[in-house]
Amino acid sequence: MLNFWLRSIGLGLATALILLLAVPSLRSNIIPQSISITDDDIGPLPVSFNSAVRKAAPAVVNIYSRQYSENDRSKLSTQGLGSGVIVSEKGYIITNYHVVAQADQIIVALQDGRVAAAQLVGKDRRTDIAILRVEGTNLPVIPLNQQYSPKVGDVVLAIGNPYNLGQTTTFGIISATGRSSISADGRQAFIQTDAAINQGNSGGALVNTRGELVGINTASFQQATDLETYGISFAIPYRLANKIMEKIIADGRVIRGYIGIDGQDITSVTARLLGNKHLGGIVVLGVDPNGPAADSGFEAQDIILKINGQKINGRQSVMDIVTDLRPGTVVDVLILRKGVEKNLSVTIEEDGRQ
C-alpha cells in the first residue's frame, strides 16, 4: 500500500512539472513576479519622509536669546538657544516662552542663511508660547492644516536645533494626546511623542508625514522632572498655539475668561446613576468666593451640563469654552442640583492668574 501511494505522488509531481515547463502562462498564476507591501487605503507604504521634511524644514528657524552683561551694559552675549516656526508670510513666528523670557535681544537664523533681529509681539507664560515677528520677503511658511487632528499612533517628525548642532530631524509616533499631568496647573493638554526633543529643540516643529504642523515642541519628560527617561517628550498642539497667537496679535496679550469654579469629570459610575443622560458633565468641587460663579449662586456638588446651550464634554471643554469668552459676556449655564435642572446666568471676568 505504501509503495502504491509513493508511486502515485511521484507520478503527480512529475506531471505537474512537465505542465509548468510546457505551458509558461501557468507559472505566473503560481509564482508572483514581484512582491510589494501596500495598504488599500493609502497605496504603497512610504519608506522615506524626505518630502515632508523638505516642505517643513525651511520654515523652522534657530533662535538665539541674547542678554546684556551685568558688568557692561554695552555688551550682549547669547544666553539661550531654541527654535521657532514661521507660520505666516507676514513673518510671525511661534516659539516657546521660556526660550525668550529673559532676552534683551532675539536673533533669528533662517535655514537659507538669512539672519535678523526679531520683534517680540507678545508672550504667554501659562501656555509657554511666545510670538515673534521678522521682516523679510519670500519667507518660508510651514504647511498648516486646521482640519488635522492628532491621533495616537500617527507618525511625527520633530525638527529643531538641538545643542546648536544645526537643524536636525528626529522620528517617532504620537504616544498620547491630552496629557495634562506635566502642566503646572493641570489646565493645559500636551501631545506626547517618542520623537527625541532635546535642549535647543524647544519652540521647533512637530510635523506629520505631509509636513503639516502638528505642534510646537516644548519639553522632554526628563527636562520637566529631572528623572532619567527615554522616549517621552511633549509638544503644544498647533490649534492651541494658533489660538494663543491670534489673541496676542489682536490684544498684545492673552485675555482669558474666568468664572471661578474647580471641577472634575463625571465618572462612568456616576453617569449610570444619573441615567447616562449627563455623561460629559462636570461636578463642581469648589467655588472661588470672590469670583463671578459665587455671585451667581453656584455651589459645590452642582453638576454643569451646558454653557449657552452647548453640551459640554468634560473639564477640559469647560475651560476651553470659558477662557475663549471675553470679559463682560453673560452666559447661561445649565446645572443639575439635587436632581433638579436649573439655569444660572454668569458674567465672565478676566482671569488674572498667571
Domains in the chain: ranges and CATH: 53-133 (2.40.10.10), 155-251 (2.40.10.10), 257-350 (2.30.42.10)
Active-site residue list? 98, 128, 202
Task: Say if CB 60 and CB 40 are below 8 A apart.
Answer: no
Task: Say if CB 335 and CB 306 are below 8 A apart.
Answer: no
Give pLDDT tens digits for 297-327.
Answer: 898 988 888 888 888 888 888 888 888 889 9
Give pLDDT tens digits for 221-280.
Answer: 555 555 555 678 899 999 999 999 999 999 989 999 999 988 887 766 565 666 656 667
Once rounded to an integer, what is the mean pLDDT over residues 118-131? 93
Task: Say if CB 150 and CB 177 are below 8 A apart.
Answer: yes
Task: Say if CB 176 and CB 71 are below 8 A apart.
Answer: no
Which residue from 100, 105, 97, 101 is spatially nearest to 68, judged by alpha carbons?
105
Give pLDDT tens digits for 27-49.
Answer: 444 444 443 444 455 555 557 89
pLDDT of residue 309: 85
Which residue from 274, 179, 190 is spatially nearest to 240, judged by alpha carbons?
190
122 pLDDT above the threshold of 60: yes
Task: Say if CB 123 and CB 180 are below 8 A apart.
Answer: no
pLDDT of residue 36: 44
What is the C-alpha to C-alpha distance for residues 40 and 42, in angstroms, rounded to an integer? 6
Question: Range with the lowest mean pLDDT among 31-35, 86-90, 194-198, 276-280?
Answer: 31-35
Once rounded to an integer, what is the mean pLDDT over residues 121-145? 94
What is the C-alpha to C-alpha distance for residues 157 and 47, in angstroms, rounded to an integer? 14
pLDDT of residue 34: 41
pLDDT of residue 132: 97
Matching residue, cell 471676568: 349
> What is the share, in percent, of the chain residues with pLDDT greater than 90?
43
Strands (E), 37-196: 38-39, 43-44, 60-68, 76-86, 92-96, 105-109, 115-117, 119-124, 129-133, 155-160, 168-179, 190-193
Question: Range with the lowest mean pLDDT among 51-60, 128-137, 230-239?
Answer: 230-239
DSSP 3-state of 92? strand
pLDDT of residue 33: 43
Once rounded to an integer, what is the mean pLDDT over residues 270-298? 79
61 pLDDT above the threshold of 70: yes
Q: 75 falls in which pLDDT band (50, 70, 90)?
A: confident
| Chain mean pLDDT for the chain | 82
Q: In the structure grid, which three cell numbers stand for residue 204, read together?
A: 521647533
DSSP 3-state of 11? helix
pLDDT of residue 267: 67
pLDDT of residue 5: 52
pLDDT of residue 30: 42
154 pLDDT above the threshold of 80: yes
Helix, strand and coil content of the chain, in percent to the nearest 5, comes to 25, 35, 40
Task: Say if CB 306 and CB 341 are below 8 A apart.
Answer: no
Once rounded to an integer, what is the mean pLDDT over residues 181-203? 78
Task: Say if CB 216 and CB 202 are below 8 A apart.
Answer: no
Q: In the structure grid, which three cell numbers stand for residue 74, read together?
A: 554695552
Q: Centre a 10 Å sphere on the Cβ of residue 33 and count the other Cβ atoms it contains.
A: 6
pLDDT of residue 224: 56
Which residue from 65, 79, 53 is spatially nearest to 109, judged by alpha carbons?
65
